[in-house]
């Protein structure tokens, strides 16, 4: 491979003489600064990506990918709707559900909760609830049984075999006014999703029991749908909405959890910008290093110009130096960032309180090639921009002044 004289001289200038050791030190500091910034950015983005994926898995373990409901408050012909939905592309399975709020009471406490009525055999096809069961089995849910979250079980001091009362404010009308509806259920299971919001506020009963409790007759609140690709859930939801028409509508998991994932995305972007500032600080070191080299090599620059070197050639010499510094720092940062991510992911020695971080017990790490490429390209671009001013200053140097007294 042919090496141009600009690259050859640029490499020579990076190797300072004994009396110019400060240049070598500044060069090493510049490389280290870029490497540190790239490593920190990669590690933080990988951790945030891991946390985002963890939360998505937990949420989709309890909730479906797409939910079909109607504006009338209940789907009467839900079996026909399910048949229509199953024929759409990317739809894997579907299951009816009843959704409502009620008061759950034990012998000592009463709490407001969200009640979901399900068919256990069909629920297994659309969510991961059966895998979250810690006590009992999802399939054993009967019309008189109730499955509650781990935190709800703890708050109510209710365990498998205990009796709980479910109260609805929309009860039977009497001459004296509405009387709350009360039904007694036996705890047959406890689930642990790792999400405090679900584990402390959610309870499952049979679809038939929920229809009776909420006075729905043969209607259901909606239909849960599982798709083969979660990132196509939005397109599937739009397709189902157009297929069924009014009064039906479908919402995908991204819309149902928009606030959470929008906040995580914004936080990731902000962290990326903040950490890239570290690379910008390192770029200032590149600028100062190149300026020092230009000052130290002014005589050599003058000689090169007198020998016929063009301003463009002189500029290329110092841009080559900055590019080498930036490229070396970026490569070192990527390698060290990957190493740190691998160690964190493999050994999991950083623990977290699960009750605060949505069930996370250790620092989550998800290595994505896109994040590595984005950080690398950004760091290299900043390093390249940092070389422009010192290189331009070197190119416009007057060769007469340095050689006047030689």
* Residues 78 and 223: beta-carbon distance below 8 Å: yes
Ranges of residues in the chain with a pLDDT under 70 are 1-23, 170-178, 354-359, 399-406
Q: Which residues pair with 141 in a beta bridge?
A: none
The span from the CA of 206 to the CA of 208, in Å, is: 5
Q: Which residues pair with 227 in a beta bridge?
A: 91
With CA atoms as reference, report the closest residue to 235 among 261, 258, 254, 248.
254
Q: Which two tokens stand for residue 93?
A: 């399975």
Q: How many CB atoms lie within 10 A of CB 45?
A: 24
**What pLDDT was estimated at residue 335?**
95
* Residues 20 and 7: beta-carbon distance below 8 Å: no
In tens, the pLDDT along 64-113 reads 899 999 887 788 888 999 988 988 888 999 999 999 999 999 888 889 99
DSSP-assigned letter for residue 34: H
Q: Which two tokens stand for residue 368?
A: 């994505």
Residues 6+ apart with CB under 8 A from 64: 95, 126, 127, 224, 225, 226, 253
**What pLDDT was estimated at residue 338?**
95
Half-sphere exposure of 246 (CA within 13 A, CB side): 0
* Residues 82 and 96: beta-carbon distance below 8 Å: yes
* Residues 152 and 185: beta-carbon distance below 8 Å: no
DSSP-assigned letter for residue 307: T
Exposure string for 177-201, b = 16+ CB within 10 A, e = fewer: eeeebebebebbbbbbbbbbebbbb
Q: Which two tokens stand for residue 28?
A: 């090493």
The residue assigned the tokens 């001091």 is: 157
Residues 6+ apart with CB under 8 A from 67: 222, 223, 224, 225, 250, 251, 256
Residues 6+ apart with CB under 8 A from 81: 68, 75, 223, 244, 248
Half-sphere exposure of 181 (CA within 13 A, CB side): 15
Q: Which residues pair with 112 in a beta bridge?
A: 103
**What pLDDT was estimated at residue 321?**
83
**What pLDDT was estimated at residue 1?**
37
The span from the CA of 399 to the CA of 307, in Å, is: 11
With CA atoms as reference, report the closest residue to 225 among 116, 86, 80.
86
Cα 262 to the chain's mean position, in Å? 10
* Residues 387 and 318: beta-carbon distance below 8 Å: yes
Q: Is the dihedral of CA 352, 354, 356, 357 positive or negative?
A: positive
Tell me phi and psi for residue 74, to 5 degrees.
180, 140
Q: Is the dihedral of CA 54, 57, 61, 63 positive or negative?
A: positive
**What pLDDT was estimated at residue 171?**
64
The span from the CA of 260 to the CA of 60, in Å, is: 13
Cα 55 to the chain's mean position, in Å? 8
């Amino acid at each position: 491979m042919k090496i141009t004289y600009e690259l050859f001289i640029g490499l020579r200038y990076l190797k300072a003489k004994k009396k110019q050791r400060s240049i070598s030190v500044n060069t090493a500091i510049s490389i280290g600064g870029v490497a540190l910034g790239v490593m920190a950015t990669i590690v933080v983005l990988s951790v945030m990506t891991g946390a985002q994926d963890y939360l998505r898995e937990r949420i989709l373990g309890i909730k479906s990918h797409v939910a079909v409901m109607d504006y009338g408050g209940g789907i009467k012909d839900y079996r026909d709707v399910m048949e229509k939905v199953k024929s759409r592309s990317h739809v894997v399975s579907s299951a009816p559900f009843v959704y409502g709020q009620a008061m759950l009471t034990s012998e000592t406490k009463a709490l407001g909760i969200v009640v979901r009525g399900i068919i256990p055999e069909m629920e297994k096809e659309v969510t991961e609830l059966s895998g979250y069961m810690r006590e009992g089995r999802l399939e054993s849910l009967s019309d008189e049984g109730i499955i509650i979250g781990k935190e709800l079980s703890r708050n109510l001091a209710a365990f498998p075999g205990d009796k709980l009362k479910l109260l609805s404010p929309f009860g039977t009308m009497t001459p004296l006014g509405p009387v709350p509806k009360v039904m007694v259920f036996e705890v047959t299971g406890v689930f642990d999703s790792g999400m405090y919001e679900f584990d402390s506020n959610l309870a499952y009963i049979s679809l038939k029991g929920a229809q009776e409790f909420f006075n729905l007759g043969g209607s259901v609140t909606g239909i849960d749908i599982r798709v083969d690709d979660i990132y196509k859930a939005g397109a599937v939801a739009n397709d189902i909405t157009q297929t069924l028409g009014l009064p039906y509508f479908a919402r995908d998991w991204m819309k149902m959890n928009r606030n959470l994932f929008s906040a995580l995305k914004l936080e990731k972007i902000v962290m990326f910008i903040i950490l890239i500032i570290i690379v910008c600080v390192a770029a200032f070191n590149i600028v100062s290093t190149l300026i020092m080299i230009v000052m130290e090599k002014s005589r050599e620059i003058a000689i090169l110009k007198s020998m016929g070197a063009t301003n463009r050639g002189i500029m290329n010499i110092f841009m080559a130096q900055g590019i080498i510094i930036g490229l070396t720092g970026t490569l070192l940062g990527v390698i060290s960032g990957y190493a740190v991510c691998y160690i964190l992911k493999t050994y999991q020695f950083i623990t977290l309180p699960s009750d605060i971080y949505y069930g996370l017990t250790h620092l989550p790490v998800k290595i994505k090639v896109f994040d590595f490429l984005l950080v690398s390209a950004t760091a290299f671009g900043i390093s390249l921009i940092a070389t422009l001013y010192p290189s331009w200053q070197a190119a416009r140097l007057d060769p007469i002044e340095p050689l006047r007294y030689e």
